[in-house]
Amino acid sequence: MHWDSLIEEENGSPEENITLHEPPRRVLIALPESKITLSDYLFPGEGAQEALLSLQELLDLEVHESTVQKDIELEADPAEFYFQNKIDVKTVDLGIDSSGNQIKIYITSFSIALLIVIFAIIIHTFY
């Protein structure tokens, strides 16, 4: 990955420290006259030409750019990312008593386990 772009000094207010780190996108390249498809990863700012260039360097294959499927994983939209951070999320108390529910779950689980043990003992004594 682009290690240098991930390790930067982030000074300022928390709003200024919001950073979008994009993972590499996967693209598929269909080999000519074959059903075999190879995959490659494009980092932010790279295009399909980089995938074709690496394919030519590694496998010595000439492939046209039209055989590259770029829409498998789309690039992140920074505007959408920053819009998500502006949404004000408020917590709502649903009035659920978690300790009361946990006690009911324990009692129910213990009762079921006890019934299974009794049933197993009965089957064991008769067979």
pLDDT tens for the chain, residues 1 to 127: 455 555 555 555 555 566 677 788 899 998 888 889 999 998 888 888 888 898 889 888 888 888 888 888 877 777 776 676 565 556 666 666 667 788 999 999 999 999 999 999 999 999 8
DSSP state of 33: T
The pTM of this model reads 0.47
Q: Are 1 and 24 in contact (CB under 8 A)?
A: yes
pLDDT value at residue 6 = 54
3-state secondary structure of 84: helix
CA 110 to chain centroid, in Å, comes to 37
Q: What distance in Å separates the CA atoms of residue 38 and residue 17, rounded to the nearest whole number?
A: 37
